[in-house]
Structure 1
Amino acid sequence: MDEAVETAIRLFHARGYDAVGVAELGAELGIKPPSFYAAFGSKAGLFERALHRYAAGEANIFARAQAEGGGVAAVIERTLMLAARIYPERNGVAGCLVLDGARNSADPEACALAEALRRTGISAIRDFIAGEAPERAGALGDFVAIAMRGMSAAARDGADEATLTAFAAMASGAFRRELAAEG
């Protein structure tokens, strides 16, 4: 089961939810459709497992940045810099599965699954920012979330690490200025 979820992560991350079919998933996993449905319930069921595994691991860059400690500005800067290192294409995969795996999907269930994890991530960022800037945590959290979505999309469009690092540095500077304007 773990290997199946890892395979699904790789496929969904590389090509997006809609571009990966049940037949392809079954072939990659070495199982026939009845076994696939018995194991995962649906393609969306496997996508949900893949999203949760992905988000619980090294891909949760905010949690990784936060674990190193420090104030809000330092953690946000680490988050953006880590995104700049992780998001560029490696082995045919770029961007973030949670942010981009269901982008433009025609499947409302897949979109809802990804959106739920995005909202959880944004809430964690806002809650952390609220420790220093409670009045503006929503706006500052949205700034970080939009920056990360943009970086993920740019990486999928071919932006390299140097380009994303330059953006992350500028975004971090803007974040610091906005945080300082708090009071």
Structure 2
Amino acid sequence: MSTTECPRAPGRPRNFDPELAVAKVQPLFHAHGYDAVSVADVTEALSIKPPSFYAAFGNKIGLYERVLGRYVQTDAIPFDDILRSDKPVAECLAALLEEAARRYAADPHAAGCLVLEGMHSNDPQARKVARDFYSLAEHKIHDFIAQRHPNEADRLTDYVSTTMLGLSGKARCGHSLERLLASARIASLGLRHPLS
């Protein structure tokens, strides 16, 4: 009887977990953006070979979609906790903008919103994936406003979304939490009149 181990077929490591892999590369996409992260960067970060990467994720856009999905579930703004029917709409939207400022500034190495910044990708598929996730969040804001202020829902959704895009962009440019919060609070003043 031979004690020599059979050589393993090439492929994923024995303990390879795609969900853990997605979590591990999420900061890579957040810090550098979709365009700057290559398959080689991902395989190096995960200590796997390219065939293992393609077997697990199909392609780079497949991985990116899973990264965005994980981000929305674990690290993005908790819309349902903030947009509450038992509080005034303006108060909830102000809280949403402040929470956006806090989250966008939380990690200086991966600042801004992964979804919002993904919409600036040069790759049309990556832009579409990010826009799809963005649309879900925008619909939540719109539906929340429309429940009590249907005539203001379109323009206030645009106003809040535009502010969030600006906060994310400024966070990517290195603005401090204090500056982002100041901008969020000034923007919140604009919500009072239409919702009064």
Query: Is the shorter-chain TM-score for this pair beyond 0.5, marking a shared fold?
Result: yes
Aligned to 1:179: 195
1:157 paired with 2:173, answer yes
Question: Map of 1:23-172 to 2, 5 A cutoff?
Answer: 23-66=40-83, 69-88=86-105, 90-103=107-120, 105-172=121-188
How far off its partner does 1:69 sit? 4.9
Which runs of 5 or more structure 1 residues have no equivalent in the other structure? none
Q: How many pairs align?
A: 179
CA-atom RMSD in angstroms: 1.5
- Aligned-partner SS, 1:142: helix
Q: Tell me the amino acid that sits aligned with residue 157 of structure 1.
A: C
Aligned to 1:7: 24
Bigger mean CA deviation after superposition, 94-103 or 60-69: 60-69
Q: Tell me the amino acid that sits aligned with residue 36 of structure 2.
A: A
Measure the CA separation in 2 of the matches of 1:69 and 1:47: 36
How far off its partner does 1:71 sit? 2.3
Kept in 1: contact 2:115–2:134 (CA 8 A) = yes
Q: Tell me the amino acid that sits aligned with residue 38 of structure 2.
A: G
Q: Tell me the amino acid that sits aligned with residue 63 of structure 1.
A: D
> TM-score, length-normalised on structure 1?
0.92
Aligned to 1:16: 33
How far off its partner does 1:91 sit? 4.9
Q: Tell me the amino acid that sits aligned with residue 95 of structure 2.
A: R
- Aligned-partner SS, 2:175: coil
Larger radius of gyration: 2
> TM-score, length-normalised on structure 2?
0.86
Return the structure number with greater helix share.
1
Larger relative CO (CA 8 A, sep 6+): 1 or 2? 1
Measure the CA separation in 2 of the matches of 1:39 and 1:133: 46
Kept in 1: contact 2:82–2:96 (CA 8 A) = yes
How far off its partner does 1:141 sit? 0.6
Percent of aligned positions that are identical: 43
